[in-house]
Amino acid sequence: MSEKAGVVEGWVSNVKTVGKITFIEVIDDLSISPVTVVVKRDSVDAETWSKASSMKIGSAVRVEGVFPDIIVSRKGRELQAKAITVLSEPIELPPIDLTGKTPASFDLYVDFRYLALRLPRFRAVFIARAKLVEFTREFFAKNGFLEVHTPKLVGAGAEGGATLFTVDYFGQKAYLSQSPQLYKQMLMCGVPRVFEITPYFRAEKFSTPRHLNESWGLDVEMGFIEDEEDVMKVLEEFIGASINYLRMEVGDMLKTVGLSLIDPPSSIPRITYSEIIDILNSIGYNIQWGEDLDTQAEKSLGEYLSAKGTPIYFITKYPWDAKPFYIMREGDNLSKSFDLDIKGIEVASGGQREHRYHELVQNLKAKGLSLEEFSFYIKAFMYGMPPHGGFGLGLDRLLMTFLGLSNIREVVLFPRDRFRLIP
Amino acid sequence: MSEKAGVVEGWVSNVKTVGKITFIEVIDDLSISPVTVVVKRDSVDAETWSKASSMKIGSAVRVEGVFPDIIVSRKGRELQAKAITVLSEPIELPPIDLTGKTPASFDLYVDFRYLALRLPRFRAVFIARAKLVEFTREFFAKNGFLEVHTPKLVGAGAEGGATLFTVDYFGQKAYLSQSPQLYKQMLMCGVPRVFEITPYFRAEKFSTPRHLNESWGLDVEMGFIEDEEDVMKVLEEFIGASINYLRMEVGDMLKTVGLSLIDPPSSIPRITYSEIIDILNSIGYNIQWGEDLDTQAEKSLGEYLSAKGTPIYFITKYPWDAKPFYIMREGDNLSKSFDLDIKGIEVASGGQREHRYHELVQNLKAKGLSLEEFSFYIKAFMYGMPPHGGFGLGLDRLLMTFLGLSNIREVVLFPRDRFRLIP
């Protein structure tokens, strides 16, 4: 006999009594397949049988028993119950069907996220998210980047004040950081490579499935570069490696819940902004050089390039006028910038930065920004600031595009938009 | 010949010309010992010699050369220069001595953190900090905890509104989260174990070396526990393992800069609040049962227990009145709570939570809190919330106490207190 005594703790997702046997499905651990607890009336005492046959779906239970050699139920794991403890019972009918048979509305799955997490599909997505975050850290730490934490309460925003939440900071006006941009650049005057995993805050009145007012991102900055190509190489390697890691770690789990990962790219093409304009104009758009791409144009571009086998691509050399002050110019009108897009959705944005003090001051002035407000930042460019570059990447957006999901709210536990501050 | 061609990129921390040789110390990578670049007048062209002998301390440079077989300089690594590129020069005298010989004021090292990071002591501290954060994630991920990110913009605070920063959220009043407490507990109704590494925000007017208004913490919550002892065991193991990890990874580096790690405890004693009061009253205090411990009392206790060989200890079973509403009661007056203190400084606080709906509602009322404001939270206790517990831990404080530093600002790159919002 190789039967092993064991304990299962988790939530009841289904109960069925067939004659003298009750089958209780229990979601335990961080797995997406339930354990089937088998309770035989002839093998347990009357109290245990009564608990089993009157078990409420949604209850938190602890079951002691044995893992049998031969499995009766169709779903992977099985425990023959000896004793059952009901730890907690629903005191009203759960607002979403915990057996997973009847789907609920999108909003109910957000409002009751903790209940949704008992269902395989939601559980799988948030396990994948944790794995992506884990891999991100390991990748950059292994590549010699120092993990840092920069302030979220700041006196100046990287792109001016218009899109910042304001905070009353002991009578002073403070902002919530929309990115570590200024701080990670200042650090380039003291350490060669940094990264940060951090919440971003942005006070814009978005109404799209790809924007939130609070989300988590990865910021990377590296010194002593030749140009922005050095940065793109690191990002390119990260993208491929992270898809491969997720495939290995959670590929099967995702498949079980009907989700599939994007294919890892063998390489990511660099397409210039000018080429992008030509492509768009060749498929019916009429965009002047220098104009920003709107959501519809981005989407069409994504469809066009995906159809050509290129769902992941860099857009390089934007007009400098379309980029923030800290991006280095290339010639008179261009910039050493890039965006990384996946199927028409921008997931990262970066470039080489202007590291030369006088040129940086000129750039600030050209964008109409206050030298006074940014004085703490430009000071860092006076003491041997090396050439550097980096990028900011939306981790939520990255996972959303990796999984082909259409709404960023599917990968954020408690999303924040202007209509949703609770829960 | 085993000489190898190589490149060194970094910042010049010292220059000395002795006859026909110039020695340039360069801080590169994430190491704390500089590379000595040796420039021989007879081996390089006139331009390179001129660059070398007029090199400004603080410059960012790239040096091509060879790593020789036989090393002349006293400090570890050496490169024989062939060509030097000055990437960036200080355009004014750096405000702190970059050779490290003349110490600057505490505030200057904060104001110019990026320059301080070129000095071994500061560099070592922030490398240790990154290692601690890295280990923290690995430890909890390996132990089956799901990494989560909960919102920082919230509609209600875990401990009422008095100590929260307020944010104008599209015309609604929002708060900056002081901890993930409410969210990590809600998640206990859907996943068995979670952790989060996150900024904390607290709007109190602190004036101490151990408080900041923004800091980073670790939040852990685990379901299906027997009682708070299950939580303390995990925390105890984490503390020992993290000290051992730091010792292995950065012990030597810390020693080089005159810092030493606290010894890992073989076990961490549990001392009840009542016992603590007795100890304090036996050494000259006059504290009534039920009173909070002030900073001075905590400090004396730390000294007393450290002298007895116990610098790290749990304080358990506080009066319920001294703890937040979500802590489970023990009997009429006590609570299933614990603090973890290191040498008189509280680094973590936790306990078993009240998971029973009706008792939780009673607790909220007893603390005078609004059921309406917390309704989104208490809802999670209606659908099979298992017994659970957890803790919040200040990562900055943990590193500070591990290293025996006296000011939390030494382990935070850009600290935030009410006098410091910039840089």
ipTM entry: 0.97
Q: Which helix (H) or strand (E) holds A5?
A: strand A4-18
Q: How far B3 CA lies from chain A's nearest CA (Å)?
A: 24
Query: What dihedral do alpha carbons B308, B311, B316, B321 form, nearest 10°?
Result: 110
Residues of B in contact with A141 (CB under 8 A): 130, 134
Pick B384's closest partner by Cβ from A29, A88, A223. A88
Average pLDDT of chain A is 95
For testing contact with chain A, the best of B172, B173, B383, B409 (most A CBs within 10 A): B383
Residue A67 contacts residue A77 (beta carbons within 8 Å):
yes
pLDDT band for A109, please (50, 70, 90 cuts): very high
Q: What is the mean pLDDT of residues B361-384?
A: 95
Q: How far is CA A148 from CA B125, B126, B392, in A?
A: 12, 8, 20
Structure tokens that stand for B47 in this block: 């331009």
Cβ of B383 under 8 Å from any chain A Cβ?
Answer: yes
Angle at B71 between CA B69 and CA B77, to 5 degrees: 100
Angle between helices B395-402 and B120-142 (to 10 degrees): 120
Residues of B in contact with A149 (CB under 8 A): 133, 199, 216, 412-413
Burial label for B266, CB within 10 Å (0-12, 13-18, 19+), is exposed
Taking the C-alpha atoms of residue A133 and residue A130, their distance in angstroms, rounded to an integer, is: 5
| pLDDT at residue A234 tops 70 | yes
Chain A residues 23-62 with CB within 8 Å of chain B: 28-30, 58-60, 62
- Phi, psi (rounded to 5 degrees) for A147: -75, 130
Q: How far B374 CA lies from chain A's nearest CA (Å)?
A: 10
**Contact across the interface for A413 and B183, Cβ inside 8 Å:** yes
- DSSP secondary structure string, A309-372? T-SEEEEE--BGGGS-TTBPEETTTEESEEEEEETTEEEEEEEEB---HHHHHHHHHHTT--TT
**Contact across the interface for A190 and B114, Cβ inside 8 Å:** yes
Q: What is the mean pLDDT of residues B169-196?
A: 96
Task: Write down the CATH number for the domain with range B4-93.
Answer: 2.40.50.140
Average pLDDT of chain B is 95
Q: How far B261 CA lies from chain A's nearest CA (Å)?
A: 20
Chain segment B406-420, per-residue pLDDT in tens: 999 999 999 999 999
Return the residue of B nearest to A60 by Cα: B384
Cβ of B113 under 8 Å from any chain A Cβ?
Answer: yes
Size of interface A-B (CB pairs under 8 A): 261
pLDDT for B159 equals 65
| pLDDT at residue B181 tops 70 | yes
Cβ of B90 under 8 Å from any chain A Cβ?
Answer: yes
Return the residue of B nearest to A381 by Cα: B90
| pLDDT at residue A132 tops 60 | yes
Q: How far B300 CA lies from chain A's nearest CA (Å)?
A: 32
Domain with CATH 2.40.50.140 in chain B: 4-93
Q: What is the mean pLDDT of residues B126-141?
A: 98
* Residue A197 neighbours by CB under 8 Å, 6+ apart: A133, A136, A137, A147, A216, A217, A218, A395
pLDDT for A73 equals 64
Superfamily of domain A120-410: Bira Bifunctional Protein; Domain 2 (3.30.930.10)
* Residue list, annotated binding site of B: 159, 202-204, 210-212, 346, 349, 353, 394-397
pLDDT band for A74, please (50, 70, 90 cuts): low
Helices (H), B257-315: 273-282, 295-307
Domain with CATH 3.30.930.10 in chain B: 120-410
Q: What is the mean pLDDT of residues A338-348?
A: 97
pLDDT for B74 equals 66
Pick A174's closest partner by Cβ from B141, B168, B421. B421
pLDDT band for B272, please (50, 70, 90 cuts): very high
pLDDT for B161 equals 60
Residues of B in contact with A416 (CB under 8 A): 151, 153
